[in-house]
Structures are given as structure tokens and as C-alpha cells.
Amino acid sequence: MIINIPFKDLTKEAKEAIANKSLGNLSIDYADNGIFGWKEDKEITVYKFTEFKIDNRTHGYEIYGKEYGVTIEIT
């Protein structure tokens, strides 16, 4: 399954980090139901799921963050 999250739906802080290429180490946190990343030495919220609960405990995933948004490939 592939989940695409468009750039316009990301948090303001994530948009700024992507624009200046400082966003790294994206990961899913099932407890907080969101995608988080690192901007320099600070963890930031990239996206919060509201329509469903995402759980990465039983499946693997690849996550990509680009200037067009975030793509998650559930494996």
C-alpha cells in the first residue's frame, strides 16, 4: 500500500524544513499517530493522521520526504 501526503497538508514547520532542505530521519510513531522528523537537533511533527490509525508495529515501511510531500510505502 502507498500513502501520499501532499505538501500542502504538512505542518508549517515541516514545509519550512523541506524548503531549506533541513528535514531528515522521517519515521512513523504509532502512539502519537503521526509522522515525525528531525530539523537540525529538534524533533518536529510532519503530519498527524486524523482519518485512520496508522500502526507500524506489524509491518515495515519506507518513507520518503520530498518537495512535493511525503510518501509512505507499507511493506
- 2-6 and 69-74 as β-strands: parallel, antiparallel, unpaired? antiparallel
> Are 36 and 26 in contact, with CB atoms under 8 Å apart?
yes
**Domain range spanning residue 63?**
2-74
Tell me the per-residue pLDDT of 20-71, one tens digit each, with 9 for 90 and over: 889 999 999 888 899 999 998 999 999 998 887 776 677 888 998 778 899 9
Tell me the pTM.
0.85
Total number of domains in the chain: 1
CA dist., res. 2 & res. 13, Å (int): 24
Give phi and psi for 37, each to the nearest 5: -150, 180
CA dist., res. 74 & res. 41, Å (int): 27
